[in-house]
Structure 1
Amino acid sequence: MRIAIIDGQGGGIGKHITEKLRKHLPEDTEIIALGTNSLATAAMLKAGANDGATGENAIAFMADQVDIIVGSVAVLAANSMLGELTPRMAEAIANSKAKKILLPINRAGIEIIGVVNEPLPHQIEKLITVLIKLRKGDSYV
């Protein structure tokens, strides 16, 4: 299983997700850190990602090279993350055949109705549960 974690700005969300994935998923799970900037990529690499790349071309290229894309819902919104996530990145992520498991963090001006507003650590725990089920071949719905 190849999982891409996409994050920007300081990489705090991606770092937290990477740490939890490393703790709860088998070692053969390949985690690829994709940062909109080098600070975000470095934070995820330091947290245990196997490999990392930075910028528009890296994200656009890698979107179709992984099984699962993880991040906040902002990765689907052009110009989110204070403009760091480009329209090309958003399009590549949205069009990727990879399964997308996204946290409903309202930092892109997107409000998802019907979603309980929970603290980030609770959202990441649910994300980990879904990925563990997917790893086992179970449905997460």
Structure 2
Amino acid sequence: MKIAVVDGQGGGIGKSVVEKLKLKFGNKVYVTALGTNALATSAMLKAGADEGATGENAIMYNVKKVKCICGPIGLVSANALLGELSPRMAMAISESEAVKLLIPFNKCNTVVLGVEGKSLGAYIDELIDLVAEMIKSDDLEG
């Protein structure tokens, strides 16, 4: 299964997601690290992503080619990640036919209602469980 992990700033969230995806699924998942900057992309590549690309055009192009997009909830909000996520990036991610598994954060003037007070690690573990369900569903379909 092709998965894009998108992150910005230092890439810490993306790095953690990539590490757990590769640890749990190995070669069952092909992970493309998409960073809003080179530091984020580099962190995700060091964590084990299969390939990586940086910047607006790379994100806009690659989110059309994956089955799943993982990252912070701000990925669908223009100017999120302290302005690193352009409106065009947010639109491309939002309009992608990929399933979006987004980690909630109550930061940057965005309050996500109904979110439990879980740790970042707990949300990443939940994301990994959802990817497992998607892989199992794919295996059953063919």
> What is the total number of aligned residue pairs between the two structures?
138
Check if 1:28 corresponds to 2:33.
Answer: no
Q: How has the CA–CA distance of structure 1 residues 2 and 108 changed in structure 2, closer, same or farther, with 3 Å as cutoff?
A: farther
Partner of 1:86: 86
- The AA in structure 1 aligned to 2:97 is K
Identity of aligned residues (%): 49
Cα distance in 2 between the residues matched to 1:77 and 1:108 = 11
Partner of 2:113: 113
Which protein has the bigger helix share?
A: 2
Cα distance in 1 between the residues matched to 2:4 and 2:118 = 23
Say if 1:68 and 1:101, in contact at 8 Å, map to a contact too. yes
Q: Return 5+ residue gaps in structure 1 as ranges.
A: none
Q: Which whole-Å deviations, capped at 9, do the CAs of 1:80-100 have from their partners, x for residues lacking one?
A: 111100000000000000010
- How do residues 17-56 of structure 1 correspond to structure 2 at under 5 angstroms? 17-56=17-56
> What is the CA-CA distance between 1:29 and the residue it aligns to?
1.0
> What is the CA-CA distance between 1:36 and the residue it aligns to?
0.1
**What's the secondary structure of 2:101's corresponding residue?**
strand
- TM-score with structure 1 setting the length: 0.94
**What's the secondary structure of 1:6's corresponding residue?**
strand
Q: Return 5+ residue gaps in structure 2 as ranges.
A: none
- TM-score with structure 2 setting the length: 0.94
Cα distance in 1 between the residues matched to 2:85 and 2:33 = 15
Cα distance in 2 between the residues matched to 1:109 and 1:83 = 12
Say if 1:64 and 1:96, in contact at 8 Å, map to a contact too. yes
> What is the CA-CA distance between 1:33 and the residue it aligns to?
0.1
> What is the CA-CA distance between 1:105 and the residue it aligns to?
1.6
